[in-house]
Structure 1
Amino acid sequence: MIFVDNAGVTDPRLNLALEEYIVRKFSGENDYLLFYINEPSIIIGKNQITIEEVNQDYIDDHNIHVVRRVSGGGAVYHDLGNLNFSFITNHDVKKLHNFKKFTEPVVKLLKELGLDAELKGRNDILVGDKKISGTAQFSTGRRMISHGTLLYKTDIGEVVNALNVKPSKLESKGHKSVRSRVANISDLMDVDLSIEEFRELLLKGLFAESDHFVTYTLSEEEWDEVRALKNEKYDTWKWNYGRAPKFNIQHNKRFSVGELDARIYVEKGLIQQANIFGDFFGRDAVSELEKHLIDIPYDKPSIQKALENVDITNYFGAIDKNEFIDFLVGG
């Protein structure tokens, strides 16, 4: 495994561009590890509606970045007390959606630091009943990113202030508030370490897991390409905010794979626009599935026929097609 040095960058747009650059451009002969720490920011899941996930007035007043990532899942708050880890590997269908597989070395190291950590639910690392990490994945079909956050000394009050947390998410967790179900790792440890010292402990632990662990420093030419990707994608309103649908029908439901939110625009009985949002994880872009629904009658038989040969698990994970169709028509 090769550790990629991000040169101490704390700009979330540049760090996300670097992560995508590695998965798309670096050699598939090696696995890579990336650590990064971001300035205060909201990182939006690939399939979410940004304006419905953030407290826009608050983030404007407090200069909080809003950036969409390439992986699915829900919106998360980052700040200088939050350590992000990312494993970039070859695509493996057995690893896709297998969060336990890639979080194992992180959980092991947390246990060595005295924390009774374990992966629970879809993609969260917990100590007791407190969430200390959320994870997500993205695949190009050839390479994949498995990444996560570690709440070390995060301002948890800002998590509450900056995010619009939907009641359905609170209900699904069985808790009354975000504050009651998350915790900082530093508060659970017996030793007082800075986030940089904590990062070094994790890095040394992961080094110990590999016989061929080296550090890679990007060339200036590579950094220029990363900055170009940032400018072309992660700096743009279109990427970060632009997926705002026109709709006159909305259905929302929480499945085992996550929350799905369908926005459908129907005119003269035909579907003119269909968008599906949520905090689900999928291998393929949901926009490809949405295309199957355009210009067909908005009724169950027509939708069943349109999706007859479509494997919807590629877009959402393990979900029953009949349940999904019932959800689209409000059944």
Structure 2
Amino acid sequence: MRFVDNQETTDPRLNLAIEEHLLRNVQIEEPLLLFYINAPSVIIGRNQNSIEEIDPDFVRKREIHVVRRLSGGGAVYHDLGNLNFSFITQGRQDLHNFDKFTRPVVGVLQRLGVAAALHGTSDLFVDGKKISGNAQYASQGRMFSHGTILFDTNLENMLRAINPRQARIESKAVQSIRSFVTNIREHLSDDMDVATFRQTLLTGIFESEKIPTYPLADEDWEQIREIATQRYMTWDWNYGRTPAFNVQKSEKLSVGKVDVRTEVEKGRIQSIKIYGDFTGQQDVAELEMRLIGLRYDRDVIAQALADTDLAPYFGPLEKEALLNLLV
């Protein structure tokens, strides 16, 4: 096995691109091990509804990345206190064998005095609390098995980022299964930071201070950036693949009750109806038609309404209040 140094990249879009590059383009027989730490981000499972899995207001205000990964499973929160590992191997024979890929991690944790163990199919727990979720993906006779390790993650930010705002959402998407979680750092007898933990885990897995590596050359980085640009940095991948869903929001505003019902498919508004007891003079259907086909994205909708006078439709209504109901 060889270790792949990502050169301390914390951009989740690049790190997922590195992983995909190692899977698809680096054809060596030896297994590869990749570690990466991401800036604050929500990493969405391949089949999930991105919009449903997050609190869009919190994510936008905190400038948290939202990126869809290749593997399935639930949404996970990453930040600089979260260490991620990925084993890339030949063949598909170990698909669904999470024990094989988590065992080296569990072994190091146990030697550190942390009573980690695989529970269920793919999660690691300590003292009844989750510290790691894992997922897998296979393509062209190769596969990766990757997982998170909550080391010193901001759990408050995690719980806020991956919980949607209070709204009734009906969706065909796969929803995350949220568990009680804990940070590894709380269970260590000798304190360390995430960088030290990363190195401890690395030397423990290889059982040596001398780590055989696969160096990323300029040609590798060129392909990595191309993958990131074409997939992980695109709205179409991160949001456009979102399954169809319906949203209903209503609120008593200064102009009266406003009830908005929106149907979204592939991340775009397919239909929208605005009901209420407001007393506008102009038919609100004209406003609805202007929103059809737009991305279900606050900034996009705000730009579309930037030059629109809402008074003829609703009376004296603040644009911010309407935006809170539209998305």
**Fold-level match, TM-score > 0.5?**
yes
Q: What is the aligned partner in structure 1 of residue 125 from structure 2?
A: 126
Secondary structure of the 1:22 match is helix
In structure 1, what is the equivalent of residue 81 of structure 2?
A: 81
Matches within 5 A, 1:59-208: 59-93=59-93, 95-164=94-163, 178=179, 181-208=180-207
Residue equivalent to 1:225:
223
Residue 234 of structure 2, aligned match among 228, 236, 248? 236
**TM-fit CA distance, 1:161:** 0.7
Q: Which amino acid aligns with 1:214?
A: P
State how far apart, in whole Å, the 2-side matches of 1:218 and 1:233 are. 20
Contact persistence 1:91–1:143 (CA under 8 A)? yes
1:29 matched to which residue of 2? 29
Unaligned residue ranges in structure 1 (runs of 5+): 167-171, 249-262, 266-331
CA deviation vs aligned residue, 1:292-327 (integer Å, no higher than 9, x gap)? xxxxxxxxxxxxxxxxxxxxxxxxxxxxxxxxxxxx
Q: What SS class does the counterpart of residue 9 from structure 2 fall into?
A: coil
Q: Which amino acid aligns with 1:224?
A: E
Which amino acid is 1:202 matched to? Answer: L
Maintained 8 Å contact 1:153/1:186: yes
Residue 56 of structure 2 is aligned to residue 56 of structure 1? yes
CA RMSD in angstroms, aligned pairs only = 2.4
Deviations 1:67-111 (A, max 9, x none): 000001100000000000000001233x11111111111111110
Identity of counterpart residues, as a percentage? Answer: 51
CA distance in 2, matches of 1:140, 1:55: 32
State whether residues 28 and 143 of structure 1, in contact with CA within 8 Å, keep that contact through their aligned partners in structure 2. Answer: no
Unaligned runs of 5+ in 2: 170-175, 247-262, 266-327
Shift of residue 207, structure 1, vs aligned partner: 1.3
Q: CA deviation at 1:247?
A: 6.7
| Shift in alpha-carbon separation, 1:61–1:142, aligned structure 2, 3 A | same
Return the offset for 1:55: 0.6
SS at match of 1:60: helix
Q: Is the 8 A contact 1:4 1:217 kept in 2?
A: yes
- Give the AA of the match of 2:31: D
Q: How many equivalent residue pairs?
A: 239
Distance 2:141 2:211 in 1: 22
Distance 1:100 1:209, change over 3 A: farther
Residue type at the aligned position of 1:136: A
Q: Secondary structure of the residue that 2:77 maps to in structure 1?
A: strand
Contact 2:92 2:138 (C-alpha < 8 Å) held by counterparts: no
Residues 125 and 134, structure 1, Cα contact 8 Å, conserved in 2:
yes
Cα deviation, residue 213, structure 1: 5.0
Q: Supply the distance in 1 between the matched residues of 2:125 and 2:49 (Cα, whole angstroms).
A: 27
- Residues 132 and 185 of structure 1 are in contact (CA less than 8 Å); yes or no, is this contact kept in structure 2? yes
Distance 1:246 1:90, change over 3 A: same
Q: What does the per-residue CA deviation read over 1:210-256, in whole Å, with 9 as the maximum and x for residues that have no partner?
A: 9x9511221112101101110111000000001234479xxxxxxxx
Instruction: Return the TM-score normalized by structure 2.
Output: 0.69
Question: Does the aligned pair in 2 maintain the 1:16–1:69 contact within 8 Å?
Answer: yes
Deviations 1:1-33 (A, max 9, x none): 010010000000000000000000112411100
1 CA distance for matches of 2:222 and 2:139? 22
2:23 aligns to what SS in structure 1?
Answer: helix
- The alpha-carbon deviation at position 123 of structure 1 amounts to 1.2
